[in-house]
Amino acid sequence: MSIFDRISYASSDLAIDLGTANTVVYVRNRGVVIAEPSVVALQTIQGVHSVLAVGDDAKLMMGRTPENIRTVRPLRSGVISDIDVAEQMLKHFIRKAQEQRGRMRGSPEIIVCVPSGSTSVERRAIRDAASNAGARKVWLIEETMAAAIGADLPVTHPIGSMVVDIGGGTTEVGVIATGGISMSMSVRVGGDRMDDAIASYVRRTHNLLIGEATAERVKLQLGAAQLSEGPVPTTIVKGRDLVRGVPLEITISQAEIVEALAEPVGQIVAAVRSALENTPPEIAADIIDGGIIMTGGGALLANLDRLIASETGLPVKVADNPLDCVALGAGHVLEDSSYRGVLHAT
């Protein structure tokens, strides 16, 4: 009996956007119930490792732990880098989703979103992690397809659409028509690379060492692909002075952050242009009318849509609820059998 035919038993079935930065869990017939950082805090006591915290609680500990506690991000560049920790994280999120729903029958069937550029080995790691976390059956769906469905694009119709999904580890560019991906590109540039670029810039220009959490905060406050008109905002950044070795705070402007992000932003724009150059002409004609849809947390970077529009000459729109768009699309597939052709059995 398939995932689509077991409606009465499927209340525990899940769709999971297993992201480098955040994991979003969708429960059938209920919607998104969990959206938390993909972070696990591990405690070591007498050589034995145990999970201390997962998600929001674990992220608060990043950079602030004693020697016997470490925080781990089990995904890098959109794929699993530590399968054991990824399993523990998935078990936590699955259990939490089921607890919110109340008592459920059996193990869930799970749809997991994967980067279009992931290898068979990387996909097997994702499948194994989900299976070991308690899934009865695991299905995979490309992130660009899930994002397009979540953005309410006509993916099953003979109309071409372009989606740019900018996540924490990767940027996925997909051209979709008639229920399939006509062309896709995956570049390992996303929110994490932007954080690294900010930290490197601050270290290089101000001799100040800052942590991941601080770099992310600066990105959220001042991050932009290009400057807007009007006063240039600033913020205070605190870290360790590399010259004197003491704590120090400086003031940094948005103009500096735009400069810091120039390289990763340029790579995203180059990926979009490359995808357009390889798009079939009839679909390209549809994209002129429908424009480019941006999803993912990176889509919220100020003025990135304007920059892509100016570089491509096409209309660019940020999807409604871009952070949850991929999980919402996978959830629609979970609930609507007309989308069954976009899934891959493992």
178 marked as binding residue: no
21 has binding-site annotation:
yes
- DSSP state string for 236-278: EEEEEETTT-SEEEEEEEHHHHHHHTHHHHHHHHHHHHHHHHT
Closest CA to 31 of 343, 338, 337, 332: 332
Tell whether residue 87 is among the known ligand binding residues: no
Does the annotation flag 78 for ligand binding? no
User: Is 20 known as a binding-site position?
Assistant: yes
Confirm whether residue 169 is marked as ligand binding: yes
Enumerate the β-bridge partners of residue 35: 24
Question: Is 217 annotated to bind ligand?
Answer: yes
Residues near 154 by Cβ (< 8 Å), separated by ≥ 6?
A: 161
Beginning with the edge strand found earlier in the chain, give each strand of the sheet holding 344-345 in spatial order: 31-37, 22-27, 14-18, 109-114, 137-142, 344-345
Is 168 annotated as a binding-site member?
Answer: yes
> Is 22 marked as a binding-site residue?
yes
Instruction: Tell me: is residue 144 an annotated ligand-binding position.
Output: no
Consult the annotation and say whether 109 binds a ligand: no
Annotated binding site: 20-22, 168-170, 216-219, 297-300
Known binding residues for ATP: 20-22, 168-170, 216-219, 297-300
